[in-house]
Amino acid sequence: MRLSTLLPLALGLAPAAVSAAGTLGFALGDKNPDGSCKAQSDYEADFDKLSPLSKLVRIYSASDCNSAKNIVPAAKAKGFKVVLAVWPDTEESFNSDTAALKSVVPGNEDVVEAITVGSETLYRGNFTGEQLLEKINQVKQMFPNVVVGTADSWNKYADGTADPLITGGVTYLLGNAFAYWQGAPITNASRVYFDDISQAIEHVQKIAGANAKNIRFATGETGWPTDGGSNYGPAVASTQNAETFYKQGVCGMLKWGMDVFYFEAFDEPWKPKSVGDDGQAEDETHWGMFTADRKDKFDTTC
C-alpha cells in the first residue's frame, strides 16, 4: 500500500474511492519443530499449507540455516514471493547474509519481493537512523534491481528515530505492532493496533512529504499467542483471543488497504523460553497461526 493513499484513512476520513484490500503475508521461521534447519522441501510443505491464504513470506537472515538458498527455489516452485533479509547487527552477520544473497538473488529477482536490512535494530538501540541508513544503502548498491528497506517497531517510525531513513530515500518500511506486548486486553487490542499503525504512518507521511507516494509501508509483524502461550498483563494468550485479533485487527487492517505480515506462520517449539521486560519467563512457541505440524488452530477466513 502506498502511503499517500492510506493516510486519509489513517486520519479517519472516508476514502474517496474503495481501495484494494491489502496483501496478507507471513513471518516464517527457518527451523523445523526439532530445531533442525529447513530444507527446500520443508519450505515447499510450508507454502502448500499457506497457499490458500497468501503467496508472500518474510525471513530474517539470508545465511542462517542457508535459508535464502533453500527458500528461493521453493518459492519458485510454489509461486511464492519472499522478503529476504540481512541481519546487520554485527559485521560478521552483515557479511555472511550479504554473501548468501549475492549467491542467490541474481537471476531470481522475480521471486524476491524485497530485502529488509535489520529487524527492530532501532528499537533495540543497536543503530541510530543514520547508521541503519548506511547499512541499507550498502545493500542497495549490491542489489540495484531489488527493493531494499527495513523492519522496526511502529513507535520508532512514530517518534522520529527512523526519520533519516525516510529523508534518505528508503522506500520499503515494515512496522511491527503487537498490541499484546503493549499489554492490551483483547477487547481493546485491535484499537491499539490501528492506533499504533496510524501514528507511524502519520509521522512517516509528514517527514516524507511529496515522496510519500513512493514509500510502501506495511505491518511487518503482528499477531497474538494461542493456548499454551504466556500472558502479558491484561493481554491473555488463548486460541480464541488469537482468532479475535486476527478477525478484527488483521482482517480489518487488510480491508483498510494495508499489507500485513502475520507473526507467525507456524509454531516454533524449538525456541527456548526468554525472559521478558517484566522478568517473567515468556513462552515464544505458540505464536503460529498454524501448529508446528501445519494444522489449523482457528478459522482463518476474513
Of 44, 221, 268, 282, the active-site residue reads 221
Q: Based on the shown chain and the rule CB under 6 A, indicate whether residue 134 belongs to the binding site for ligand NAG.
A: no
Q: Based on the shown chain and the rule CB under 6 A, indicate whether residue 192 belongs to the binding site for ligand NAG.
A: yes
Nearer to ligand NAG, 127 or 143 (CB): 127
Q: Based on the shown chain and the rule CB under 6 A, indicate whether residue 195 belongs to the binding site for ligand NAG.
A: yes
Q: How many CB atoms lie within 10 A of CB 90?
A: 10
Q: Based on the shown chain and the rule CB under 6 A, indicate whether residue 191 belongs to the binding site for ligand NAG.
A: yes
Q: How far is the CB of 232 from ligand NAG (least distance, A)?
A: 14
Of 44, 109, 113, 120, the active-site residue reads 120
CA 242, distance to chain mean position in Å, is: 17
Nearer to ligand NAG, 91 or 299 (CB): 91
Q: How far is the CB of 182 from ligand NAG (least distance, A)?
A: 8
From the list 15-23, 191-199, 213-221, 258-266, the region that binds ligand NAG by CB under 6 A is 191-199
Nearer to ligand NAG, 80 or 127 (CB): 127
Q: Based on the shown chain and the rule CB under 6 A, indicate whether residue 274 belongs to the binding site for ligand NAG.
A: no
Using alpha carbons only, give the angle 88, 90, 91 rounded to the nearest 5 degrees: 90
- Is the preceding peptide bond at 202 cis, omega within 30 degrees of 0? no
Tell me whether residue 264 is one of the annotated catalytic residues. Answer: no
Q: Based on the shown chain and the rule CB under 6 A, indicate whether residue 188 belongs to the binding site for ligand NAG.
A: yes
Tell me whether residue 243 is one of the annotated catalytic residues. Answer: no
Catalytic residues: 120, 221
Residues that bind ligand NAG (CB under 6 A): 89-90, 126-127, 188, 191-192, 195
